[in-house]
Amino acid sequence: MQRETNPKIISNARRYAGNMIVACVLYTVFVFAGAYATRIDDLPRWVLIVAALAPLLPALLMLRAYVIFLNGIDEFQRRIQTEGVLIAAAVVGFGTFAYGFLEEWAGLPHLPLLWVFPALIAVWGLAVCVLRLRYK
Amino acid sequence: MRNRLKVLRAERNWSQADLADKLDVSRQSVNAIETGKYDPSLPLAFKIAKVFGLPIEQIFSDDEVAQAAE
């Protein structure tokens, strides 16, 4: 398989990887710090709220990195990415909707909402891989 | 939509990567256009025409029109 040689595309991908690594490191730090904070007794509620919402900041940095990446790719690549996002939104949206009914009416075990966003990212990644193969 | 990208590229001895560099797109995008899996936007089609120095209609043609011509 031939590799990409366009310097603009390569530098855009590198910048995306760099921004994502920074956001992922921050996310890991915030999650571990938050989990540690919940184990400390008698912490004020506002501290726990701040600790719980802190991982959102690096998650927003990930979103920012993705938007910058999206603006730096060509129209065909952008189509693959947006199709991937649409597929992920549909799969996770309908999946969680269906599971909500199953939880309420069929007694299936409760799943925390925390898993919705990672599921979205996972399905989006998988969808982009499948779409890339389809257009190969 | 049909196109003559592969033939025109071969005539100039350009690889897909060469054409991708000239168009400022990815090699995968050139491949998708060549194989007819993706129809470029009008601005990109004009850019392709400019790179080859040809009018758009000499590179791209409608499927039905091309079939009728055959």
Element (H, E) at A33: helix A7-37
For residue B60, give the amino acid letter. F
Minimal Cβ distance to A5: which of B21, B29, B33? B21
Q: In this model, does residue B66 exceed pLDDT 70?
A: no
Same-domain status, A2 and A69: yes
Q: Are residues A117 and A60 in the same domain?
A: no
The answer to whether A59 and A116 are in contact (CB under 8 A) is no
Which member of A5, A76, A135 has the closest CB to residue B17?
A5
Q: In the beta sheet, which residues pair with residue B61? A: B2
pTM of the model: 0.83
What residues of chain B lie within 8 A of the CB of A74, using their CB?
24-26, 29, 44
Instruction: Identify the pLDDT of residue B1.
Output: 86
Residues A31 and A97 in one domain: no
Amino acid A66: pLDDT: 94
Q: In the predicted model, what is the mean pLDDT of residues A2-25? A: 88
Assess contact for A91 and A123: CB atoms under 8 A. Answer: yes
Calculate mean pLDDT across residues A27-49. Answer: 90
Q: What is the pLDDT of residues A47-93, one digit of tens each?
A: 999 999 999 999 999 999 999 999 999 999 999 999 999 999 999 99
The phi, psi pair for B3, rounded to 5°, reads: -150, 160
Question: Pick from A99, A64, A70: which is nearest to A85 by CA?
Answer: A70
A79: helix, coil or strand? helix
pLDDT exceeds cutoff 70 at B70? no
The answer on A65 and A45 residing in a single domain is: yes
Instruction: Indicate yes or no: CB of B25 within 8 angstroms of CB of A76.
Output: yes
B15 contact residues in A (CB cutoff 8 A): 2
CB-based contact A55:A34 (threshold 8 Å): yes
Q: Are residues A65 and A86 in the same domain?
A: no
Q: How many helices (H) and strands (E) does chain A have?
A: 5, 0
Closest Cβ opposite residue B26 in set A74, A134, A136? A74
Residues A64 and A91 in one domain: no
Annotated domain spans of chain B: 2-69
Question: B39 touching A, CB under 8 A?
Answer: no
- pLDDT for A64: 96
A48 shares a domain with A91: no
A67 and A78 inside one domain:
no
CA-nearest residue of chain A to B45? A75
CA–chain centroid gap for A136, Å, is: 25
> What single DSSP character describes residue A130?
H
- Domain match, A12 and A59 both: yes
Residue A66 and residue A54 share a domain: yes
Confidence of residue A2 (pLDDT cuts 50, 70, 90): low
3-state helix, strand, coil in chain B (%, to 5): 65, 5, 30
Read off the pLDDT of residues A87-115 as tens digits, 9 standing for 90 and up: 999 999 999 999 999 999 999 999 999 89
Q: Does B42 touch chain A (CB under 8 A)?
A: no
Q: How far apart are CA A62 and CA A22, in angstroms?
A: 9
Interface ipTM: 0.86
Look up the CATH architecture of domain B2-69: Orthogonal Bundle (1.10)
The DSSP letter of residue B25 is: S
Range of the domain at A96: 74-136
What does the pLDDT read at residue A52?
A: 92
Closest CA–CA distance from residue B43 to any residue of chain A (Å)? 10
List B residues 14-33 in contact with A (Cβ-Cβ < 8 A): 15-17, 20-21, 24-29, 31-33
How many contacts, defined by CB atoms under 8 Å, are there between A and B?
A: 55
- Predicted pLDDT at B5: 95
